[in-house]
Structure formats: structure tokens, C-alpha cells
Structure 1
Amino acid sequence: MTVVPASLPEPQGTRPGLRLTFRLLLAVDVQGYSRRTPGLQVAAQLDLLDAMERAAEAAGLDRDSWSQQVTGDGVLAVLPDDADIVLVVGRFAPALEDALAALAETAAPERRVRVRLALHHGAMIIGWPAVLGPAGHAPVVVSRLVDARPVRRYLDVHPERNVALIVSDQIFRDVVDSGLCALPPAHFSQVRTVIKGIRYAGYLYEPGWL
């Protein structure tokens, strides 16, 4: 995987160019990260990385091909242009749920990691001159969705779950509702939220909900 560097020198002999690229984005945030002690924050980072590696392997995905922007409590990942969107949407979230559950079985209760996961596909600028990470509407949308109040509330209402998944309108229409995805459309409910004065809509995955 590629981690966005803290600084990036301007390529010699080139002029900055802006080119929109359509990619699948994935955002993950650890629930309740700021309430952890520093030691437990480090543990959460290690456990999340481990769980994402396990989930990617179980879903048949190559995480080494992902470009990611990391924060202490989460990851914003841009998947390669040949990523199988149906595969990622249908398999990664359930695999991440299983991986986090497996880690929780052997960990102390206070070390348990629960996450919010958002998926979106859209246009962005990646690479030079976007030196601090992907720029554009798509990374903003996926970042807002993963932080949406209904997604946070889902984990509060469902203590048995380790992953709260939300997908964008586009992902739901084009992927989930296609009938090709492993996640049934009937297990999603539309949610809307307003963040910083802008309205966002997505579909929250609720296993077993009909």
C-alpha cells in the first residue's frame, strides 16, 4: 500500500496538472478512539491494521495496491482503477466484521475495536499536485459519510456489532441494487445527514433488518 507522505517535492521539469480520476474509496474510523488511553490508542491502531489485512485477504483483495491516507483513528484508502467494486462492497465489510470479532475473542474488553466503514465511488485528483491526499468531491463525501451521526448511532444501538457500514447513493444504486452484490438490498436503509451545512445521503447496512 502507499501511504501519503508528510511532504512531497515538486517534480523537476514538470508543470502541475489537474486530472480527474474515478476510483473506489474506502474510509474507516475507530469508534471512541479519543476516549482511549495512549496505550489503548496504539493497540487500536495495531488491531485495525491487523483486521484490515485479514479482511482484505479473506475477500481476495490486494491491500498493497491501495493508496491510503492515515490518521491516528482511521484510514482513507483509494483503491486501484481495476478494483472489482462488487467484490469490495460485498465481501470486505463482512470480512472486517469477522476479523474484528476474532481479535475481540482474545483481547481485554477495553481493547475491543469497533469501526465505522464508508464506501463511495467518484471523481478525485490523486498524485501531484494533490500532495496531502486525494482532492475532490469524492473523498469529501466518503469522509462525511463515515462520520455521519446515524452511523455512529448504529454502533451505540447494536453493541454486538463491530462494523457499521454505510455506502453512498451511487454505490447502492449501481452495485448493491444490481443484484450482483453479496449484500442484499433489503438489508439497507436510506439515511440523511447534514454536516457543515451540506446534506449527504447514503444507505446504512443493517444485517437481518427487513
Structure 2
Amino acid sequence: MADERTTNGRTTTDEHNTICAVDIEGFGGGDRTRPNYVALREGMYTAVEQAFQRSGIPWDNCYHEGAGDSILALAPSTVGKATFAANLPTALAATLRAHNAEHPPEERLRLRMALHAGEITRDARGVTGTAIIHAARLLEAPPLKEALRTSTGLLAVIASAWFYDEVIRQHTENAPEDYVRFDVSVKETSGTGWIRLPDGARPEPPPRHEIEKREDTAPANGSSVVTVSPVVRPASPEFYQVVDAIEAIPCMQGEHTRSFVIDQLRFAGAIRYFPNRRAHVTSILRTCLDFEDGVVQLVTAISEQEPSGSLPLNRLVSLLGNGA
């Protein structure tokens, strides 16, 4: 049921919609030509439209708009949400495979998809609403990007906490056991998302072990390559010495610059945020130790924000190089 109102001569309509947003992975990367980009966009639209139809979701009854490498589609309340949960993920994976089988590598698609639902407002210029913004933030969540990057498949799906609780987990045909819960923090949005890889399996995370010296991970400002031997153990005295050294670095003292450093890490979404600076730095280091080369990534990201010869950064590198 839609609520229509007129304000200052403009008519708007409020209604509850199922929200589906998709985005092409790595759209701007690679040595692509304009015809390649056209083929990618056309392939995305064709794959999504065909997947909707195969799932029993009438594409022509949905509002949809594109923005370069993404599509926003809204289904009215007359379309059952269960069709998005039970049928759409596998249908879209199938249409993506069909597209890729007929195109060269530079025109092959991998997509991220977000599922949510909520109140939206339509006007003469399109649609808006906090639910749409939330879906867009989910689509940009680092854990979703990382899940697709490390997946063997072509599609990664993230469902909002509401959509998972109220739709997906209610019925076994929605494959609720295939979703994994992640914390999501993107811009103003902080909450929970549930991620599924309908056509691929994410590899097991590598075991935590000694970080080896690598020529390609030298900090950009000329500091020494980072090695940690032995591995710094969480909650050990050495661990807190490293926390002290990180906290003393200027770019890690401000929340904005600290967030910019975190954004450069491939596992940024796994880092738990704390408003207290020391607690946040401690959380960052703990998470880095859980990932292969995590500390190397952190020091490299910090070095890109610090001036050449930064004494606090050099102290950190020295501390790590001596095994803390």
C-alpha cells in the first residue's frame, strides 16, 4: 500500500519495497576499451533481468536505475521477498556464467549483490530513503568485497540483518546455513551483514605464521622491510610495546587519518571499531596478526601517510624487525 502526498506542489509516494542492488567487481581496472565497458554494462543488465525473470520476479513491475557499474532495483510489496532469497542468488550466478562463456576476459563479469527492504519515497526525479542508502553501504562493505575477491565463483551476496532475520532464516529453501555473519562499517553505517557465496567457496584463511621478508612490501617512504620473528603474541608485553609504537605515529592519532590507513587493508572489515584511540589501535593490531602479512600491510599503509624518515614509523619498523 502506497501513501501519496503533495508538498509545495510536488507529489511524492511512500511505499515499502524489497531492495536489490548489484555492482560490478573491478569495473575500472584492467586495460579495457570503451566497447569493453559497454559490453560489461549490457551484460550486467541482461544477467540481472534474466535472473529476475527466472526467479519469478517481474522485472517490468520493478523500479530500476543504473549508475555506470551498478543497478538499483526495487520490487513492490506485491512481490514476495522469499523469491529474492530462495531463487535469485543461484539464478544470477547462472546468468553470469552464461555471459562469461560468450565473452573475452576483459568483458567477463563478477558481481556483488545486496538485499534489503524498507520504506522508500518516489518523486518525479526517482527514489530515495534511508533503506536505499543502507543497501548501498552494504554493497560497499569490505567483507563483501573480500569474500568475492577470494571466491572461486562469480557472485557474492550480502543481506541486511533485517532481511536475514525476517526472510532468509525463516525457511530452509533460502539456504540460511550458507550465510556468514560479518560486522559492517561503511561511512555512517555500522551494523551487521550476512554474506553468501552461492556459486563458490572462499578459501580457508591462511594459518598465522612468521611474516617473511619480501621485496615488494617495502614501505613507500624508504623504511626497512618489515619482518616479525618470532610472531608478536596478543596480550604479551611485546604486543603492547607495538601498540605503544603504533599509537605514537601521527597518522594513527586522529580518527580520520587512522580510518584512512585501515581502508587500505584488504581485511579492513574484520577490524572492530572502538571510539577510544588505544582500544582501536589494539583492535587493529590484533586483527593484523590474524592475517598473513597483516602487519606488513599495516606498516605499508602507515608509511604512505608518513613523511620520509618519520622517526615514530622507523621506531615501529625497528621494533618489529627485532621481534618486538
Give the TM interval when normalised to the shorter protein. Answer: 0.7 to 0.9
Match of 2:122 among 126, 147, 161: 126
Task: Please give the secondary structure, in 1, of the residue aligned with 2:76.
Answer: coil
Q: Which residue in 2 is equivalent to 1:34? A: 28
The answer on whether the counterparts of 2:16 and 2:76 sit within 8 Å (CA) in structure 1 is no
The total of aligned residue pairs comes to 193
Matching residue within 97, 102, 105 for 1:101: 97
- By how many angstroms is 1:17 displaced? 5.1
Matches within 5 A, 1:1-210: 15-16=9-10, 20-35=14-29, 36-128=32-124, 131=125, 133-158=126-151, 160-179=152-171, 182-207=173-198
Is the contact between residue 189 and residue 206 of structure 1 (CA under 8 Å) also seen in structure 2? Answer: no
Which one-letter code corresponds to 2:146 in the other structure? Answer: R
Question: Counterparts of 1:190 and 1:61 in 2: how far apart (Å)?
Answer: 26
Partners of 1:83 and 1:147 in 2: CA distance: 26
* TM-score (normalised: structure 1): 0.84
- Residue identity matched to 1:157: T
Q: Distance in 1 between matches of 2:8 and 2:186?
A: 38
Per-residue CA distance 1:32-90 (angstroms, 9 max, x = gap):
11124322111101111111122122112210111112111011111122011001221
What's the RMSD between the two structures over aligned residues?
2.1
Give the match's secondary structure for 2:87.
helix
SS at match of 1:23: strand
Deviations 1:92-142 (A, max 9, x none): 1110000101121222122110110001011121234xx2x3222100010
For residue 87 of structure 1, give the secondary structure of its aligned residue in structure 2. helix
Distance 1:105 1:125, change over 3 A: same
**1:3 alignment partner in structure 2:** none
Unaligned stretches of 5+ in structure 2?
1-5, 203-324
Q: What amino acid does structure 2 have at the position aligned with 1:16?
A: R
State the TM-score, normalizing by the size of structure 2: 0.56
Indicate the percent of aligned positions where both proteins have the same amino acid.
Answer: 24
Which has the higher Rg, Structure 1 or Structure 2? 2
- Could you tell me how far apart the structure 1 residues matched to 2:99 and 2:133 are? 30
Secondary structure (helix, strand or coil) at the match of 1:61 reads coil
The answer to whether the 8 Å contact 1:141/1:200 transfers is no
Could you say which structure has the higher helix fraction?
Answer: 2
